[in-house]
Amino acid sequence: MKKYILLLLTLHTLNIFSQKDTDILVTIDDEKVSVADFKRIYERNLDAIDNEESKDIEKNLNLFINFKLKVKQAYELRLDTLTSYTNEIETYRKQLIAPYIQDENQLNSLVKEAYGRIRTEISASHILIKLPRNYKPKDTLLPFSKIMEARNRVIAGESFKQVAIELSEDPSAKKNGGDLGYFSAFNMLYDFEDVAYKTSLGEVSQIFKTRYGYHILQKTGSRTSKGERQVAHILISDTTSNGKKLIDEVHTKLKNGGIFKELALKYSNDSGSKRKGGVLPKFGRKRMVKSFERASYSLVSIDDISMPFKTKYGWHIIKLIKKYPILPFEELEKEISQKVKNTGRVKLSSSSILKRLKNEYSINIMEPVKEALQNNNFKDSLESIFLTINKKKITKGDFVAYRSKRSQMAFSTLLKNFINEEILAYYKENLVNTNKEYSSTLTEYQDGLLLFELMQQKIWNISSDSIALNTYFDARKNSYETNDLDNIKGRVMNDFQTTLDNDWIQELRSKSKIKVNKKVVKRLINYYRKES
């Protein structure tokens, strides 16, 4: 099995060695395989080879040919049409293509921006006027008028808090006057966060929109981030006076030298933490209810214990276990990068790619068809060409199908979004032809997945069949030191798989015409001797 593992290891890395050698190393029937194709896989597996014999070029070339023959048979058997295969490849393709639709410079800039915001927390109050679901342009007039009224009143000198209580459609505003407390990167929608950080302290922002509706905000504070906290707590879930009496008794015991861990086990109603001495996972801003967060961050020294306080869950006492300051950028870069990719920030990176593609591609809109669509004129055939991107033709029917699922949008917005999506779709479709790294990685994954399926059919299922295994063993009992198959089953199964594989390879080789370019092989051997 080791030789298959050696080849399948190629499926788990994206680091491609750039090769210029286009000489044909081997021809398998009508397929020509270049030196670069072999070197890419061979060099990537060098780290997994632990002895010089296994690095032998001719032996590895034979393994490579065997691999190619098996994959060829998988395609002949149409294993690439299996639903399980097509679903797996589509999932992998989406994962693989993700980095290629992001602008690396823009992405790096967003990561650095997020780190800076993690280090500096801000506080703000806001007013929200909601937009109706599936709204049309005409539906935005009244909400915009309301948010404009709110801003004008604040600018004229009225209390932001009072205006928020009166006008804001954020349900919490009636209680908190729109006060959001302190937050940092990733705690809010990016559109909201960005405006908040870019607004000057004490100032009221311009009107802006998120998916929830129209907002204005007032920046009320800025401070160096306190990082994350880990605390232990004792919870008395009884919110009546009896619960208050009990939490006070527990607090008195703690003041008199009681051990927090023991009291948590005895009194706490939090079944998930009491057996751990009340210890909770570490958390940052906006992860706990406000009063719990406030009490946790008010503790100064390790082992400090809070006064009893109340949340919607009951009465609490907390003990500070550990402070987690913000780590250096180098230690957080990978984590922040992943968060950036998983949030709305990545749209900014994609928009940078779109801008570049629009300059590179030849994009033409057929104005008569556009006009007909805008006027809901469907007299012409839906097969009429509406849009071309280089040589790709997009029909009137394609746009009609797109619009049918987004009928609430204005035509201009629909058109813009449709063209952008078609440009990105064209880019993704052609990436296999324009980016060698992407193409090679995708091909290797496809081949590996097909080989796995074929190995299942040709070797693993057969060798796992008890009747087939017993038949194999009975014919070769003299080769083993015992007649008890159960005692050496693993060894026999491995031998059986090797036999099946050898027979399969002989069959494949007998059916194919294989021509190895010996001169190129010799040059390849000399090349690696010099390299070593």
232 within a domain of the structure (yes/no):
yes
The pLDDT score that the predictor gives to residue 18 is 32
Closest CA to 108 of 331, 328, 341: 341
pTM score of the predicted model: 0.55
What is the C-alpha to C-alpha distance for residues 104 and 190, in angstroms, rounded to an integer?
19
141 within a domain of the structure (yes/no):
no
Among 288, 309, 324, the domain-final residue is 324
263 within a domain of the structure (yes/no):
yes
Closest CA to 4 of 455, 514, 445, 440: 455
Across 390-427, the runs of DSSP E, i.e. the strands, are 392-395
3-class DSSP state for residue 141? helix
Question: Among all chains, which residue has been given the structure tokens 């861990």?
Answer: 261
Cα separations (Å) of 131 from 58, 144, 147, 187?
Answer: 68, 9, 11, 22
What is the C-alpha to C-alpha distance for residues 320 and 233, in angstroms, rounded to an integer?
9
- Given a cut of 70, the residues of the chain with pLDDT beneath it are 1-20, 47-51, 344, 346-349, 378-380, 407-408, 532
The secondary element (H helix, E strand) that includes residue 418 is: helix 411-434
277 within a domain of the structure (yes/no):
yes
Question: For 86-105, how does the pLDDT look when each residue is reduced to its tens digit (9 = 90+)?
Answer: 999 998 888 888 778 777 78
377 within a domain of the structure (yes/no):
no
Length of the chain: 532
Token digits of residue 190: 């990016």
44 within a domain of the structure (yes/no):
yes
The pLDDT score that the predictor gives to residue 3 is 38
What is the C-alpha to C-alpha distance for residues 476 and 488, in angstroms, rounded to an integer?
13
CB atoms under 10 Å from CB of 526, counted, come to 11
The pLDDT score that the predictor gives to residue 304 is 97
What is the CATH classification number for the domain harbouring 242? 3.10.50.40
Residue 514 CA, distance from chain mean position: 42
Among 324, 357, 386, the domain-final residue is 324
312 within a domain of the structure (yes/no):
yes
Per the CB < 8 A criterion, the answer to whether 114 and 340 are in contact is yes
Token digits of residue 368: 């008569």
Buried/exposed 202-225: b ≥16 CB within 10 Å, e otherwise: eebbebbebeebbbbbbbbeeeeb
Token digits of residue 452: 């796995």
The pLDDT score that the predictor gives to residue 47 is 64
Among 324, 356, 383, the domain-final residue is 324
The pLDDT score that the predictor gives to residue 502 is 95
Cα separations (Å) of 159 from 87, 147, 165, 196, 376?
Answer: 57, 15, 10, 19, 49
DSSP assignment string, 74-121: HHHTTGGG-HHHHHHHHHHHHHHHGGGGS-HHHHHHHHHHHHHHHHEE
φ, ψ (nearest 5 deg) of residue 110 = -70, -35
Q: Which domain holds residue 287?
A: 228-324
Angle at 297 between CA 291 and CA 300, to 5 degrees: 135
What is the C-alpha to C-alpha distance for residues 325 and 314, in angstroms, rounded to an integer?
29
The pLDDT score that the predictor gives to residue 376 is 79
The pLDDT score that the predictor gives to residue 54 is 77
Helix 411-434 vs helix 345-360: crossing angle, to nearest 10: 80
367 within a domain of the structure (yes/no):
no
The pLDDT score that the predictor gives to residue 140 is 86
User: What total number of domains does the chain contain?
Assistant: 2
